[in-house]
Amino acid sequence: MSESPSATGERRLVAAAAGLTVLATIALYWPALGAGFVGDDFMILHRLRGLGHVTDVARFFRGEFFEYYRPLAFVSHAIDWAIAGQNARQFHLTNLLIHVVNTVLVLLVGRSLSPRPLAGLLAAALFALHASNNEAVVWMSARFDLLATCFALAALYWMTRGGLLNHIGAGILFFCALLSKEAAVALPIAAAGWSTFRLRATTSRTVAFILPWLVALGLYSALRHLGGGVSAVGGAGRLPKLAAFMFCLGAIVAMSSERWLQIREWLRPRRSQCAALGLTLVIALLLAASLSHGRIGMLAREKLAVAGFAAFLLASPPARRIRLQRSHRSCGVDRWRSRSHRCWRGHIVSVAAVDRR
């Protein structure tokens, strides 16, 4: 069955707009190719200098990097090293290309989630040009974030397509995201949410839906511990986050079989009480951050600082330009500086307030 002329025209319009977004992204970040190396980049380069053969990349899977296990990102750095040696331009070009791929993936995920054709396009444009992504694209050491985001978005896109093969493929892509950066560990919560709230699956189907993701997580934890010599859960300090992860995942699975609809109906006449309870918790958190100097105060300050920084980034407009400034000529280091056209004093004050000693 052929598409209607209107549908074909709409598809072409979206494709053309997506192409313009990609070109704008490349034009915006093209000056970053001259940014050179800075800071942590040299520690990564030190690990690459010992590579002599293609099989040497296997050592990235057998060791840690400052107690982090991110072998796949180092493999991508090794490819750049094999192509151009210590030419910084190649490393920055790869970062830019990954960001472009991520932009396209945001577009695809957005089109899968929303029937409105412009929804995915606007999301992709915001993602591509937003100022919060400057560091990840321009800084060579931020490849971990870019690559983990790439595999994570690909996993989400495959998940939304449905089908057994796509379902298994999503788990494999999630595994690759974990091998790029451990921050991708929260993705099974999104998978459980998709099954519970979007597909409205039963509990047994939701458990089966997230099983490939949990298998990938288990394999990563074993490889991280046995191959990299790093704690499978990141040490005792990560146990609260692990508990929060398990709680969120279990809560979403418990709401499957459309139980969440019953909860929603129960909450509707109690919206005012729930809002008051939430406001009370926020005030209590603020007081704990301001008055307490123990573990509770430290935890409260940490979470509020993260929330304030997130609000600052969300309120930031798209990046307008990137200017490069050459400094430290004796070390041959290029530094970059991005500038936006506004300041967000309120967010900065909020972050500083919760960081009081």
pLDDT digits (tens, 9 = 90+) for 12-32: 877 887 888 889 899 999 998
Name the band, by pLDDT with cuts 50, 70 and 90, for residue 333: very low
Instruction: Give the Cβ contact number of residue 89 at 10 Å.
Output: 14
- Lowest mean pLDDT across 141-155, 203-217, 241-255: 241-255
Distance CA 38, CA 51 (A): 21
Name the band, by pLDDT with cuts 50, 70 and 90, for residue 351: very low
Instruction: Give the Cβ contact number of residue 214 at 10 Å.
Output: 16
Q: Are 42 and 332 in contact (CB under 8 A)?
A: no
Name the band, by pLDDT with cuts 50, 70 and 90, for residue 314: low
State yes or no: pLDDT of 319 exceeds 60. no
Q: CB-hemisphere CA count at 13 Å for 317? A: 8
Give all strands (DSSP E) within the chain, no chain letters: 321-326, 334-339
Distance CA 173, CA 146 (A): 14
State yes or no: pLDDT of 189 exceeds 90. yes
Cα angle: 14, vertex 16, 20; to 5 degrees: 115
What pLDDT sits at residue 344?
A: 36
Please provide the distance, in angstroms rounded to a whole number, between the alpha carbons at the two ends of the chain: 67
pTM beyond 0.85: no
* DSSP letters spanning 231-298: -TTS-GGGHHHHHHHHHHHHHHHHTTTTHHHHHHHHHGGGHHHHHHHHHHHHHHHHHHHHH--SHHHH
Q: Which of 330, 336, 329, 333 has its CA nearest to residue 45?
A: 333
Name the band, by pLDDT with cuts 50, 70 and 90, for residue 135: confident
Distance CA 272, CA 178 (A): 40
User: How large is the angle between the packed helices 295-315 and 345-354, nearest 10 degrees?
Assistant: 170
State yes or no: pLDDT of 346 exceeds 50. no
Average pLDDT on 283-298 reads 72
